[in-house]
Amino acid sequence: MAKHYQPSAVLRDNAKGFLNGKYGMTVGSTFLYLGLYWALSQIATGVSAFFEGIFIRSNLVNMSATLVLEFIQLIISAVLTIVLGVVSMGMSYYYLKIGVGQRPRVSDVFYAFREDFKKSFTASFYVNILLILSILPAQIVFDIYRNTKDTKYIVYMIPCVIVGLVLYIFFDISLKMTYYIMADFPEYSAWDAVKASWNKMNGNRMRLFGLMLSLLPYYILGILSFGVGLFWVFPFAQESYVQFYLDLMNPKVVTGEWERTV
């Protein structure tokens, strides 16, 4: 039977409906999320500065030493991104509860740390390693240009940026349902959730891309409000993605019934 999915406008309206009267606590959870992000970023910056200090004190300022230092900083950045993915898993659980009519708790932000950190970390690794690898060539070429000042690397960087951006968007869309699936199906392994997200997004990538584009004006308005509006835009965007997930898992069939499949 044919399946009918809700358009982006309906998903956004559904998100507004579920968030009605709950913006106070969602803004609070956003503050907590950003606080965790800031704390982890500060730790990563401190570790990076520590290694940089070692190189400076050792008078290692040649090209090889610079590349080694940048490689270390890249590893630190990758670990930070993966750990932040674990935090995002908690946020996915938080907004999924709102989307199914349950009342979330502040502690739900730490859901992934509380329930199964190893599985959540593994899932974040699978999701983010592809995103990191997609933009890695452009980063490497840029670092070489920054150290050599050879303008020919700018020519190399342009295709790397274009291809990297396309791959990044493709992988991000393909794996965006992973955290929701893990929260919805705790019996799934990290790899099972990744595969389920990839498979469910077959034929639905453009739908999610369209939803993401439809949210851009809200982000622009949030930025124009000196960033204050983003504390309301972020929950709205997250709940819109939850509504997309629920619609994806329960598409309306021609009989008017609802069917859930993975």
208-229, pLDDT tens digit by residue?
Answer: 999 999 999 999 999 998 888 8
- What does the pLDDT read at residue 250? 82
- What does the pLDDT read at residue 173? 97
Question: Do the domain assignments include residue 59?
Answer: yes
Q: Is the pLDDT of residue 1 over 80?
A: no
Q: Is the pLDDT of residue 262 over 50?
A: no
Question: Do the domain assignments include residue 69?
Answer: yes
Question: Do the domain assignments include residue 174?
Answer: yes
Under 8 Å between Cβ of 186 and 180? no
Question: Do the domain assignments include residue 259?
Answer: no
Number of domains in the chain: 1
- What does the pLDDT read at residue 76? 83
Confidence of residue 58 (pLDDT cuts 50, 70, 90): low
Give the residue-averaged pLDDT of 233-247: 94
Q: What is the pLDDT of residues 116-140, one digit of tens each?
A: 889 999 999 999 999 999 988 888 8
pTM for the whole structure: 0.85
Question: Do the domain assignments include residue 258?
Answer: no
Q: Is the pLDDT of residue 257 over 50?
A: no
Give the residue-averaged pLDDT of 229-240: 92
Give the closest residue to 109 by CA, choosing from 199, 257, 234, 246. Answer: 234
- What does the pLDDT read at residue 151? 81
Question: Do the domain assignments include residue 260?
Answer: no
Give the closest residue to 51 by CA, choosing from 40, 63, 60. Answer: 60
Whole-number Å distance between alpha carbons of 194 and 92: 15
- What does the pLDDT read at residue 46? 84
Whole-number Å distance between alpha carbons of 180 and 196: 11
pLDDT over 70 for what percent of the chain? 90
Report the mean per-residue pLDDT for the chain.
86
- What does the pLDDT read at residue 63? 59
* 3-state secondary structure (DSSP) of residue 3: strand
Higher pLDDT, 58 or 100: 100
For every residue of 159-224, DSSP letters joined together read HHHHHHHHHHHHHHHHHTTHHHHHHH-TTS-HHHHHHHHHHHTTTTHHHHHHHHHHHHHHHHHHHH
Question: Do the domain assignments include residue 83?
Answer: yes
Q: Is the pLDDT of residue 60 over 70?
A: no
Question: Per 3-state DSSP, what percentage of the chain is helix, strand, and coil (rounded to 5)?
Answer: 80, 0, 20
Q: What is the pLDDT of residues 165-216, one digit of tens each?
A: 999 999 999 999 999 999 999 999 999 999 999 999 999 999 999 999 999 9
Question: Do the domain assignments include residue 102?
Answer: yes
Question: What residue numbers bound the domain in which 62 lies?
Answer: 17-250
